[in-house]
Chains A and B, each alone.
Chain A
Amino acid sequence: MLILLRYLITIIGISLYWHQVFADPQQDVKDYQQYYQQRFPNLSLQDYANGAYALDEKAKLNWLDIEEFPPYEQEIDQGSELFNTPFANGQSYASCFENGGIAIAQNYPYWDKKQQSVITLPLAINQCREKNQEPVLGYDSFDMLALTAYLAYTARGQTINIQIPEQDTKALAAYQQGKDYYFTRRGQLNFSCSHCHYQYPGYKLRSELLSPALGHTSHWPVYRAKWGGLGSLHRRFRGCHRQIKAKPEPQQCENYRNLEYFLSHMSNGIKLNGPSYRK
């Protein structure tokens, strides 16, 4: 009996896997956004940029108060200054980015054909530095967070627009890996990301209201009192991994970049509103 059950589960597992291998990113976006819309009929797509606050009117009002005089204002200014200071070789950050880096965050992460890899905004900043013989920055360093905060700020109101070049099988595979990662259980507590942010958004984990995955990438870096300052999206991934007693991975590792690729693509159509404050 048990063996039969196992057999059945394996078959279901394989067929699910099969289904995922041939998944279609365009169809995925439709399916996910429709799923959340059915789940929360009162929310508009844009509301998802507000994370858990979209689901809690009272918390949202408090949050909007904080965003009036945000604790990350200084970082934006300093980020602007850093961004506009030439490197030792006389070149600038602007030379590395389209439109001089202004209002471009909505296109990140993107699939880089030459590097055959997903490139996120923080990684692009470090690659720009390397290209100009500057030492790379730590992903939790003040300079990196200030720079990404500034670039996010210039892109406020831009619409997330992640492309998956489907004719490129490697790009599709990276997307697929990110998606699989999202739905895979891990850690001693045996959770997948999808358990908390796909299956149970709107429910409470102790006193924490769980946010939907839709919109998760719209507002980074984030200022948290718990962090005593700004932190990156990948830092948040690490935190969620710790929560489920799974081993956190290094920021900007391939797994996290592919995960970000999948998550950002899911949020296509949402307007950026970073940097932001979160509890």
Chain B
Amino acid sequence: MPHFILVLILFLSTSIQASADDAIAMGKQLAFSQNKGNCLACHQIADGLMPGNIGPPLVRMKQRFQTKQQLQQQIWDASIKNPNTIMPPFGRNHLLTEQEIQMIVEFLWSL
């Protein structure tokens, strides 16, 4: 019986870990994809080729944002923080779904 529980816990924890990794990988794909986030148009991001330089490099996100929620808001609608921003309001204008933005947040949080 204890064995069984141990196995179960192990199984659950690896699968949670796996799904977090999945979200990060998918978030990366969404961020890099030209017809999804296309964040590289403006931001330097690790591993991204030929980035633009209109926005700041996306590094050390945990130091820049206190919560994932704040990071999510920057991507959902950057104009909340800066009304004059050039960064497209990805959530508000339906460029990305809530779920897609969530995955991008996971990816950025891992940087």
Contacts and interface: CB of A to CB of B under 8 A. Distances in A.
6 contacts: A188-B88, A188-B93, A190-B93, A203-B53, A204-B54, A207-B50
Contact of A189 (B51, B52, B93): B93
How many chain A residues sit at the interface, stated as a range, is: 10 to 19
A191 B88 contact: yes
Interface string A154-184: 0000000000000000000000000000000
A207 B88 CA distance: 18
A189 B95 contact: yes
Given A190-B88, A191-B86, A200-B86, A206 B93 contact: no
B40 interface: yes
Interface in B13-38: 38
Given A190-B88, A203-B52, A205-B42, 16 more contacts: A9-B83, A188-B88, A188-B93, A188-B94, A188-B95, A189-B88, A189-B93, A191-B86, A195-B86, A199-B86, A200-B54, A203-B54, A206-B41, A206-B52, A207-B50, A208-B52
Closest CB pairs A-B (n = 5): A189-B88, A204-B52, A207-B50, A206-B41, A195-B86
A9 B84 CA distance: 11
A195 B79 CA distance: 14
Contact of A205 (B54, B83, B95): B54
Contacts, number: 39
Given A9-B83, A190-B88, A205 B41 contact: yes
Contacts of A208: 52
A9 B40 CA distance: 31
B50 A206 contact: yes
A139 B98 CA distance: 42
Contacts of B38: 206
Contacts of A9: 83
Nearest to B84: A199
Nearest to B54: A203
A205 B44 CA distance: 11
Interface string B75-111: 0000100010010110001110000000000000000
A56 to B, nearest CB: 13
A190 to B, nearest CB: 5
Nearest to A5: B83
B86 to A, nearest CB: 5
B74 to A, nearest CB: 15
Contacts of B40: 206
B55 to A, nearest CB: 9
Contacts of B41: 205-206
Nearest to B34: A206
A199 B54 CA distance: 10
Contacts of A196: 86
Nearest to B50: A207
A206 B88 contact: no
A193 to B, nearest CB: 12
Give the residue among B53, B79, B86, B89 with the most A Cβ atoms within 10 A.
B86
A196 B42 CA distance: 11
A208 B54 CA distance: 11
A21 B95 CA distance: 34
A119 B42 CA distance: 37
Nearest to B51: A206
Nearest to A195: B86
A9 B41 CA distance: 29
A231 to B, nearest CB: 23
Interface string A13-54: 000000000000000000000000000000000000000000
Nearest to B89: A190
A186 to B, nearest CB: 11
